[in-house]
Amino acid sequence: MKTAHADRGAPTTTAERPLEGVVVLDFSQFLAGPSCCLRLADLGAEVIKVERPQGGDLSRRLYLADQSFGGDSALFHTINRNKESLAADLKDPADLERVKALIRRADVMVHNFRPGVMDRLGLDYATVAELNPRLIYAAITGYGTEGPWRKKPGQDLLVQAMSGLAWLSGDAAQGPVPMGVSIADLMAGAHLCQGVLGLLVRRGRTGRGGRVDVSLFESAIDMQFEQFTAFLNGDGQQPARDAVNNASVYIGAPYGIYQTADGYLAVAMTPIDRLGALIGCEPLRPYTDPARWFTERAAIKSILAAHLATQITAHWLAILEPADIWCAEVFTWPQLLESEGFAALELTQQIHDGQHGTLTTTRCPIRIDGQILTHPRGAPALGRDTAEVLRRFGLDAPGESP
């Protein structure tokens, strides 16, 4: 892979990041809440991960591809990098009092417990708001705090299933096809981060804290706003996926991914008759009426698929890209890593652990003042920073006399 351009500038320092000085208490586990707190940390916030002393965040043992780093899963490190870990048993009165003392000094707290859990612990919004009226209280649930689904497990695949998202992928002959990433978790985390940032802006004007709530299910519905809006204003029938190379239930041909002689080519919206003329496919040229591009999309896609399979991907790109047709090669990850475009964007970073070495992962996708945001510090060992955090905030560590 080619090296990145040297003139892109060094990563921003902590002092230059917009959330410098903001203290976040992260009570969340797995992906949705931690992804929100990761982004806040990327933007300069001091994120203190509050974990149970026995085992901590359950994602420490949630392994992908059987990969570990520093005794915890690589997944845990990718989404909890650049945080501190404070071990606290919220059911222990002494630990709970220490946590409440931290809440009085914090700017934001984030949790993703099921509805009712924080109430039983005495860390519900009303109680916390009395401790610290300036605090931003941020919560993620699976399905909201009201209604018959509120206690269902908030797990990404289950939310994709119940929200209808799984019926948007795959061809008509297939059953529901889930997305291959934890999209509901990550979008909910992004939405929570947006709410936190909005409330921090409001607090800057008014001095008042507030509460932001999101759910995986609501985020999954919001992601489908294009298709779901068309459904709500249509005939009430579930939209049919295309029988050939489906990529959108409501967009006409040629929208989809096509096999070529040596790989795959994605083709987005473009006039069918013009496309036929460019690639020398005579059977497509009579399709001049845009209405037919949807009503006859399976037939059109079948013709196009047979034609594109006769040449390699580079052949078609050489024709279509100069004509400003929206198309792209479908990369595998090894191909992506070898591409100049990927190298130019500097999309990976390394995080370090003094004992266990280096882990390569993704970086924050946001640039501030033209500079990328990276940090070399990996995720913390469970409870590693307990004594230091308590000392920094003027609190006694467990076992110390007041």
CA distance 386 to 380: 11
Output the DSSP codes for 59-93. GGG--STT-EETTEEHHHHHHHTT-EEEE--TTSH
CA distance 374 to 349: 7
The yes-or-no answer on residue 185 being catalytic is yes
Answer yes or no: are the C-beta atoms of 360 and 333 closer than 8 Å. Answer: no
**Catalytic pick from 26, 57, 156, 185?**
185
Rg (CA), the chain: 25
The H or E element containing residue 126 is helix 125-131
Answer yes or no: are the C-beta atoms of 75 and 59 closer than 8 Å. Answer: yes
Whose CA is closest to 190, among 166, 220, 228? 220
- Which pairing describes strands 256-259 and 72-73: parallel, antiparallel, or unpaired? unpaired
Which two three-digit tokens encode residue 171?
């061809």
Query: Does residue 254 have a cis peptide bond before it, meaning omega lies within 30 degrees of 0?
Result: yes
Which two three-digit tokens encode residue 197?
């940032």
CA distance 383 to 87: 4
Q: In residues, how long is the chain?
A: 402
Catalytic machinery residues: 185
